[in-house]
A and B are shown apart, each in its own frame.
Chain A
Amino acid sequence: MMTIKETFPVTAGDMTCAGDVSARIKRQMKQVGVPAAVMRRVSVGTYEAEINLVIHSLGGQIDYEMTEEKITIRVVDNGPGIPDLKKAMTEGWSTASNEVRNMGFGAGMGLPNMKRNADEFQIESTVGVGTDITMVFNI
């Protein structure tokens, strides 16, 4: 059975490159002919996660794994972690700066968007350690 696996590092603070990893993953999905609706859900979830790594975290990585049945995106960062996960998951809740808002993000919809688009969504976060998100998308 075919499995494609890759890991991409994401640098904190660099808004000009934010979205590069998601675009690469999308290109790979297109190449192997993932259905458009699945591709859109994976792309939205991955892009929101990548933006969060850039604007909220100290940097981290995105792991991408694709089999014939499903695509798994795991997003792990090196901190600072999220103190109140329940609040963070609320639509509209955001700690983003005005600078980030001027870049079009910080509407507090990122985590809810990830959850809505994934078939399985898991988030764990420890302050001082980091955040670990897994999204599974059935093909």
Chain B
Amino acid sequence: MTIREIAGILDAKWLCCEEEADREVRYAFASDMMSDVLAHVGEDTMILTGLINSQSVRTAEMLDVPCLIFVRGKIPHKDAIQRAEMIGLPTLLTGCSMFESCGRLYAAGMGAFKLEEYNGEGGNDDD
């Protein structure tokens, strides 16, 4: 689906790069821990996070993700929005909780990025 559709589903407000609204997003990954994002996010995957400092934008930048969504209505730090603008990363803010954001997107047909099969040991992912 496009970022424009995603914005509608989440009643989200654009923080920057609205001109990229027609970009396609295939998968979503949600976490407040950036190492989990770095471990699991692949191509065409957008990030949902409650982490409002600039590390969330830097993480998105490293992975070249199509879009970044801040949840729970928490307004990101100024330097985070500035960096998103600078690198041309479509960034939105929704008042929905993480749970509700994921629920709405899942119900609308958004896919989960397939994790490697759980092997019964290690890790304590909270996504």
Q: How far is the CA of A91 from the CA of B53 in the complex (A)?
A: 24
0/1 interface trace, chain A 34-52, chain B, CB 8 Å (1 if under): 0010011001100110000
Is there an interface contact between A113 and B123, defined as CB atoms closer than 8 Å? Answer: no
B39 contacts across to A, CB distance below 8 A: 109, 112-113, 116
Q: Count of B residues near A, CB < 8 Å?
A: 24
Q: Is the CB of A19 within 8 A of B58?
A: yes
| Complex CA distance for A93 and B28, rounded to whole angstroms | 26
The proximity string for B residues 58-69 relative to A, scoring 1 for CB distances below 8 Å and 0 otherwise, is 110111100000
Per-residue CB proximity of B20-47 to A under 8 Å, as 1/0? 0000000000001111101100010000
CA distance A136 to B48 in the complex (A): 31
**Contact at A91–B123, with CB atoms within 8 Å?**
yes
Give the number of residues in A that approach B within 8 Å (Cβ atoms). Answer: 29
B positions within 8 Å CB-CB of A = 32-36, 38-39, 43, 49, 51, 53-56, 58-59, 61-64, 79, 122-124
Partner of A110, one of B35, B58, B61: B35
Q: Is there an interface contact between A109 and B64, defined as CB atoms closer than 8 Å?
A: no
Return the CB mask of A105-128 against B: 1 if under 8 Å, else 0. 111111011001000000000000
Residues A113 and B79 in contact in the complex (CB < 8 Å), given A91-B122, A104-B33, A105-B55? no
Name the CB-closest residue of A to B58: A19
Interface residue? A70 (CB, 8 A): no
* Cβ distance B119 to chain A, nearest Cβ, rounded Å: 10
A23 B38 Cβ-Cβ under 8 A: no
Given the complex, which residues of B lie within 8 Å of A26, measured CB to CB? 61-62
CA distance A109 to B53 in the complex (A): 20
